[in-house]
Structure 1
Amino acid sequence: MPGVKIVTQPYLLMEAVELLYLFMNNDSFHNTRRNFFLKYSEQLSEAEREYYETLFRTLEEILTEGTKGLDREDPELQYYFQKFQWGTARDTVCLAKIVLYSFLQGGPAEFDESIKACRERYYICASDNFSHYKIQGISHSGLDFVRCGGEETQSLFAQVDQLFLPEASKWNIYKILMEYETHLNALQERLRPVAARLQQILQRHDALFQKAIDSWRSYFAHHGLRDFKQSVLGFDMGTAQDATWEETVCFWRIGCTRVDLWQDEAAETANIGVVVRLDTSTKPSGKVMEDVSNILKLLSDKSRFEILQRLSQREYYGLELAGEMKLTSGTISKHLNVLFSYGLLNLRRVDNRIYYRTDEESVRHFLQQVGEQLFSKHEGP
């Protein structure tokens, strides 16, 4: 099959969307960095650790510089970039991603060409009021449209209404799909200066990103996307061979931990984050058992357990939580730091305050590990 095409230049439209999403939701790379080192700390050499520390620090600087002068109170930016609040889902979805990612399908990399690609695919899908397309779901990659062939579909309104979202969000999505050109033009106007600034910033740090990209270039010199999906992502590919699609790989900078896949009848594209690693193996079982034991000891403290309970309901900052639990600020700070260090909390910084929230996914993963270690067969004397 043909070799994999490597695109090293950033997809500026998508990177600008990710940048504004982080900014408007008061997010940062702090939690991303912590989770990365918790996962890979046992596998990194000293040189690798230093490289990733520099990479995360640089991404934080890019976020700050790239959004300088923007206003989080801007109503238009809030409308398009504030994330949906929906159940316990962790996908980072906002209206801007619905407008753009639903129809972009991974390329092309140039800003104006990306806008053109969104417009063209939208009108293909929207012909006959979306009667030939079905919405399969929604994620951080937007709406997932699939062609139905001869299958009869529901109206677009009925399909949007079935999404697991708040009613207001569903109505906004429906309006956007009905008035797509208006919203695409509005986003194009807001994103163009951000993308232009971001391009200049990323160029200054190109050598840093290229080091990560070069490792993937080496991998794809000998592997295709089928190998990548099976060995790195853990997909069950079965025994069937892929068609002779054109395979393209490009790379996230701001969306540094993301892996997105797009496929049509003739081509397949993967967009891989610059901190995604080939060695995705889990920690050795002995290390997992040690971590489980330490966290169980950690949660045997009544105050720490109560903190996790309270933070599972809503965000708190330290002094607020100390007041409600009638503990000193120093005691609360120690509890929060140790819970955060074990990956049980997320944080976000707003002005001079740090807000904490229980990381539900990490807690559920820990509980799964407890079960696996408790009921695993013990080998040895």
Structure 2
Amino acid sequence: MKSYHVDIQYVPESVTLLNMVARPAPYITNYMNYLASRYGVVPDERAGRVVNLLQEIEDAARAEFSGDMETVKFYCDAENDFSKPDSFANLLVLVGSLCDHVRTVQEQAEYLKKLPEQEYLTEFYEILKSYGASTAEAASNGKETVTDILDAIVQMNEPDARKLHLQQLFMHHKEHQEVLLGLMLRAQKILKKYEKRLKAFGEEAIAYLKEELQEQSLADYFIHEFYNETHLSTENKNSDTYVSYLKAATLGFYFKGRDVDSADGIVCFLGVIFSKNLNIRTLMKQRNTLSEEKVIAMLKLLADKSKFQILSTTVDKSAYGAELANMLGLTTATISHHTTALLDQNLLSLDKVDTKIYYRTNPEMIRALIQYLQDKLLKE
């Protein structure tokens, strides 16, 4: 059964708002301009109204937190991809794929207060392993220790100073949660003022999606189009699609549970920006269309020895993250960082074998890149 939800997910949206405030202003406008340039799309009148509303919300938040920017940046500053407004704050209050979508910030605070320490370690570990990545490499065994998490932080592809910062946040998470949740409550209050206007756009996005996909679920569409027809079973699994507001151009899904095959449901995300005139099919098509900007981004990736080795290693045989780490002498966190960048440019594709996700070089995109270079540089 497919279900659709336009209610604001106040816990993740509040964290996202804080993360955006921690970035240089105006984040929303700059981000949407970046997407328009990258994918070669021209925003229509509706998209312009969505961006204006989100920018208004960002401006209101900047005014609200103008006297607390040092604290906001302490928890929400990040050096990761500009296009992914996440930070260590997401980890601290467990805002990831395990976040309960119906909770308010107050309810999340109560949940964290009552959560047994082992369960916190497990949830923190799972979000940590997928932080900044396109796919989750390994599931938790439910028995993680503090040492396991500290070791996982050390393996992250982050500067040493930021690793130390995250370790300190984790080791003293109770006191830091109290401060961060206080900021989130203020962010939630801002979002509530715009709830009616946001949900009106959310209703439009869901109406578009239903018309666009008809009987197909968003997860099935992603698997077929975005993941190069990787065979992930969606049969007999309930599908819940949530509108993402501040991450207005996001598209994604995950399986609810520790294992893909035994998962009892699928959660999908649809950015509020999408509509009939700015649709997901156009985005997917543009993702496979080469431009000078995209080619330059690809060449920068290929200039990195480790990323080039990942592609050359997976030409004839796919491999999962831990295998690549062993073959190339890298940490799984570094492999996750590299594969995310390669997937983002469609240079890698995904295969599923048993319960593992395997990476394979995408020959179609490699051929397209070579042809583009021949056309531009050799005039052949």
TM-score of the two chains, using structure 2 as the length reference: 0.63
Report if aligned partners of 1:100, 1:118 keep a CA contact under 8 Å in 2: yes
* 2-structure distance, mates of 1:177, 1:109: 25
1:14-49 C-alpha deviation (Å, 9 max, x unpaired): 11211221122124222333244346666x7xxx71
- Superposition map of 1:162-201 within 5 A: 162-201=155-194
User: Equivalent residue for 2:373?
Assistant: 374
1:192-219 C-alpha deviation (Å, 9 max, x unpaired): 1220221121323432332123212445
Query: 1:211 is matched with which residue: 204, 207, 219?
Result: 204
* 2-structure distance, mates of 1:37, 1:182: 41
Larger deviation, residues 216-225 vs 181-190: 216-225
1:36-76 C-alpha deviation (Å, 9 max, x unpaired): 4346666x7xxx71111222122212211243232266322
Larger deviation, residues 69-78 vs 131-140: 131-140
User: Equivalent residue for 1:309?
Assistant: none
Q: What letter is aligned with 2:158?
A: L
Report if aligned partners of 1:67, 1:194 keep a CA contact under 8 Å in 2: no
Report if aligned partners of 1:39, 1:282 keep a CA contact under 8 Å in 2: no
User: Equivalent residue for 2:326?
Assistant: none
Report if aligned partners of 1:134, 1:148 keep a CA contact under 8 Å in 2: no
Report if aligned partners of 1:141, 1:260 keep a CA contact under 8 Å in 2: no
Query: 2:5 is matched with which residue: 7, 11, 36?
Result: 7
1:86-137 C-alpha deviation (Å, 9 max, x unpaired): 6x7864442212213455624323313344455666744346x999979534
SS at match of 1:185: helix
Query: 1:256 is matched with which residue: 231, 248, 251?
Result: 248
- Superposition map of 1:293-372 within 5 A: 371-372=370-371
User: Equivalent residue for 1:269?
Assistant: 267
User: Equivalent residue for 1:49?
Assistant: 44
Report if aligned partners of 1:133, 1:148 keep a CA contact under 8 Å in 2: no
User: Equivalent residue for 2:28?
Assistant: 29
User: Equivalent residue for 1:60?
Assistant: 55
Q: What letter is aligned with 2:267?
A: T
SS at match of 2:63: coil
User: Equivalent residue for 2:14?
Assistant: 16
Query: 2:280 is matched with which residue: 278, 287, 305?
Result: 278
Q: CA RMSD in A?
A: 4.3
1:163-206 C-alpha deviation (Å, 9 max, x unpaired): 11122221222222232222222211111122022112132343
Identity rate, percent: 11
Q: Which runs of 4+ in 1 moved over 6 A?
A: 129-134, 140-145, 149-154, 367-370
1:235-255 C-alpha deviation (Å, 9 max, x unpaired): 5322x6335333211011111
Residues 147 and 174 of structure 1: is their aligned pair in 2 closer, same or farther, counting only changes over 3 Å?
same
Q: Which runs of 5+ in 2 are unaligned?
A: 258-262, 297-340, 347-364, 376-380
Residues 119 and 371 of structure 1: is their aligned pair in 2 closer, same or farther, counting only changes over 3 Å?
farther
Query: 2:239 is matched with which residue: 244, 247, 252?
Result: 247
* 1-structure distance, mates of 2:29, 2:137: 30
Report if aligned partners of 2:3, 2:240 keep a CA contact under 8 Å in 1: yes
Q: Aligned pair 1:125/2:119, yes or no?
A: yes
Report if aligned partners of 1:130, 1:156 keep a CA contact under 8 Å in 2: no
Larger deviation, residues 137-146 vs 180-189: 137-146
Structure 1 position 8, deviation (Å):
0.9
1:265-287 C-alpha deviation (Å, 9 max, x unpaired): 323212221124321343599x9
User: Equivalent residue for 2:329?
Assistant: none
User: Equivalent residue for 2:337?
Assistant: none
* 1-structure distance, mates of 2:294, 2:244: 33
SS at match of 1:192: helix
Residues 283 and 236 of structure 1: is their aligned pair in 2 closer, same or farther, counting only changes over 3 Å?
closer
Residues 33 and 284 of structure 1: is their aligned pair in 2 closer, same or farther, counting only changes over 3 Å?
closer
Report if aligned partners of 1:92, 1:139 keep a CA contact under 8 Å in 2: no
Q: What letter is aligned with 1:125?
A: E
Report if aligned partners of 1:4, 1:220 keep a CA contact under 8 Å in 2: no
Equivalent pairs counted in the alignment come to 298
User: Equivalent residue for 1:227?
Assistant: 220
- Superposition map of 1:142-157 within 5 A: 146-148=139-141, 155-157=148-150
